[in-house]
Amino acid sequence: NAGVTQTPKFQVLKTGQSMTLQCAQDMNHNSMYWYRQDPGMGLRLIYYSASEGTTDKGEVPNGYNVSRLNKREFSLRLESAAPSQTSVYFCASIPLAGVRETQYFGPGTRLLVL
């Protein structure tokens, strides 16, 4: 049981390049989240998916798109990367749709945009 996995672990992009961050969970959880973590700013929600087939914007969605490919997988896409998107990205999942449950985080993807 791997829990929540993310790929890649580390990525360097040039401004304007695109990439997709992958997240998968094997816990049969319904809801999945994408956060970014910047120094001194905690974790900020980018997008979330309450259930398969649905996605919603979080606090900082601009410059990102997401796809809930199936119940297991939730991907985050940067269409045209900007230096301001340099951050550590965490995926998380919870069993149901409400937040009054433990969020299980992936190991993170460290992204550097030059």
Partner 1 sequence: GENVEQHPSTLSVQEGDSAVIKCTYSDSASNYFPWYKQELGKRPQLIIDIRSNVGEKKDQRIAVTLNKTAKHFSLHITETQPEDSAVYFCAAPSSGSARQLTFGSGTQLTVLP
Closest contact distance (angstroms) between CB of 105 and partner 1 is 4
Closest contact distance (angstroms) between CB of 69 and partner 1 is 20
User: How big is the chain, counted in residues?
Assistant: 114
Residues lying near partner 1 in the complex (CB under 8 A) = 31, 40-45, 48, 50, 56, 58-59, 90, 97-100, 102-103, 105-108
Closest contact distance (angstroms) between CB of 7 and partner 1 is 14
User: Residue 35 or 81: which CB sits closer to partner 1?
Assistant: 35
Q: What is the DSSP string of 63-114?
A: TEEEEE-SSSBEEEEESS--GGG-EEEEEEEESSSSSSSPPEE---EEEEE-
